[in-house]
């Protein structure tokens, strides 16, 4: 069990002005921020980040969406970070997300679902390394 996870506030949420409220909910959920940046992915970078989903029918749509506007990338720390953060954000499809979760509060659809959360310790490390050098985290 690792104490770090990786998140992005996705382009739907940054575009609707939800960034501050989402980060506030993350901090109130007990996570501390170890690295953070406001950036925008190219299509190539979004394709690489989500390469694991290449064979899925929604891959092209996902790459288009994730490169359509700014994102906020962050490394978060808390005991049991990966599992606790998945709980805080709720189900992939906001229609199935529990009340009070970030996706229930801020997401519009299964594709445009406001936030990313790593699904394993291994992916949390890979995804954090995708965005941040060792000089950009503490």
Among 111, 121, 126, 137, binds ligand GDP (CB under 6 A): 111
Q: Which of 61, 64, 79, 136 binds ligand GDP (CB under 6 A)?
A: 61
Count interface residues toward ligand GDP (CB under 6 A).
9
Specify the 3-state DSSP secondary structure of 9: strand
* C-beta closer to ligand GDP: residue 29 or 111: 111
The string of DSSP codes covering 73-130 is EEEEE-TTHHHHHHHHH--SSGGGSPTTSHHHHH--SSSS-SEEE-SSHHHHHHHHHH
For residue 70, state whether it binds ligand GDP (rule: CB under 6 A): no
Which region, judged by CB under 6 A, interacts with ligand GDP, from 20-28, 73-81, 106-114, 126-134? 106-114
Q: Does 116 qualify as catalytic in the annotation? A: yes
CA-based end-to-end distance of the chain: 19
């Amino acid at each position: 069990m690792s104490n770090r996870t990786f998140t992005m506030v996705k382009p739907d949420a940054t575009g609707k002005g939800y960034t501050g409220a989402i980060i506030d909910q993350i901090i109130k959920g007990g996570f501390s921020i170890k690295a953070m940046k406001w950036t925008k992915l190219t299509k190539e970078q979004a394709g690489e980040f989500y390469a694991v989903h290449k064979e899925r029918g929604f891959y092209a749509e996902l790459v288009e969406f994730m490169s359509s506007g700014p994102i906020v990338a962050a490394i978060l720390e808390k005991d049991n970070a990966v599992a606790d953060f998945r709980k805080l954000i709720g189900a992939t499809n906001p229609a199935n997300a529990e009340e009070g979760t970030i996706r229930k509060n801020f997401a519009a659809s299964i594709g445009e679902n406001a936030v990313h959360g790593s699904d394993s310790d291994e992916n949390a490390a890979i995804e954090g390394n995708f965005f941040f050098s060792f000089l950009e985290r503490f």
